[in-house]
């Protein structure tokens, strides 16, 4: 993973087409290495989550090229890589397991993390998950506690209790979540482990029941449509 990190860090400073084209052979080498890692991670997750079986690397990874047509940020390339393993693939709208690799301009602001759950879900899916949290809050919290080393991500959160739920309930703070995710930050030393994919799959295994609960709520919302 060291070559991948170094390439992305240099790309952060040189995010233009001339530099990228001059370094295209390096990028292809880095992509091959990252995809090999992604394949191992996918297989590791498929070992404990049967709903993800049949997925390929293409189903779970992203292009490095940014769509700048409607953005004021015209930098042509993403300076991060990610793997998102979920039932139906990355575009399905289902909860899944995500690894994010984003080195920045210095080691103090590197952004590496594992994430399980629903990121920016459609409103109907979020409503179904909130209903589950409200009706079965203790069970929800028991699954959060089972995911040792992870914590609830509160990056995207409402200031007030969402409409339709009583303010001040024991689950109030969880009902305010706009993303329903568990997150674990990791450091560069961890990324250089020889058994990184295997270690990461074992960490994600701790969140399997949490993820399964969310996907049951998502499926319920689809059946109600």
CB 88 within 8 A of CB 94: yes
Flag whether pLDDT at 140 surpasses 60. yes
Percentage of the chain exceeding pLDDT 90: 88
3-state secondary structure of 17: helix
Instruction: For 118, list phi and psi in degrees, rounded to 5.
Output: -110, 120
Q: Where are the domains of the chain?
A: 2-224
CA atoms of 174 and 159, how far apart (whole Å): 11
| DSSP codes, 156-202 | SB-SSPPTTS-TT-TTHHHHTBSSEEEEEE--HHHHT-TTHHHHHHH
Structure tokens at 112: 């590496």
CA atoms of 62 and 38, how far apart (whole Å): 11
Q: How confident is the model at residue 79 (pLDDT cuts 50, 70, 90)?
A: very high
- The strand order across the sheet containing 96-102 reads 81-85, 96-102, 111-118, 180-185, 151-152
pLDDT tens digits, residue range 86-105?
999 999 999 999 999 998 75
Structure tokens at 203: 């960490």
Q: Give this prediction's pTM.
A: 0.94
3-state secondary structure of 114: strand
pLDDT number for residue 78: 95
pLDDT tens digits, residue range 103-117?
875 555 568 999 999
């Amino acid at each position: 993973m060291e070559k991948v990190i170094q390439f992305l860090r240099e790309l952060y400073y040189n995010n233009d087409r001339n530099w990228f084209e001059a370094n295209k052979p390096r990028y292809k080498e880095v992509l091959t290495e990252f995809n090999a890692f992604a394949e191992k991670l996918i297989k590791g997750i498929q070992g404990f989550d049967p709903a993800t079986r049949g997925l390929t690397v293409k189903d779970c990874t992203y292009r490095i090229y940014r769509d700048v047509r409607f953005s004021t940020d015209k930098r042509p390339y993403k300076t991060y890589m990610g793997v998102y393993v979920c039932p139906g693939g990355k575009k399905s709208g289902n909860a899944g397991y995500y690894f994010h690799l984003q080195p920045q301009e210095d080691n103090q602001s590197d952004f590496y993390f594992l994430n399980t759950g629903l990121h920016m879900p459609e409103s109907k899916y979020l409503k179904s998950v909130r209903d589950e949290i409200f009706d079965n809050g203790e069970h929800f919290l028991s699954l959060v506690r089972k995911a040792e080393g992870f914590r609830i991500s509160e990056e995207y959160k409402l200031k007030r209790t969402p409409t339709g739920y009583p303010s001040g309930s024991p689950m109030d703070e969880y009902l305010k979540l706009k993303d329903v995710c568990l997150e674990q930050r990791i450091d560069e030393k961890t990324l250089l482990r020889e058994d990184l994919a295997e270690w990461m799959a074992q960490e994600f295994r701790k969140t399997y029941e949490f993820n399964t609960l969310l996907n049951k709520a998502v499926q319920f919302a689809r059946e109600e449509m």
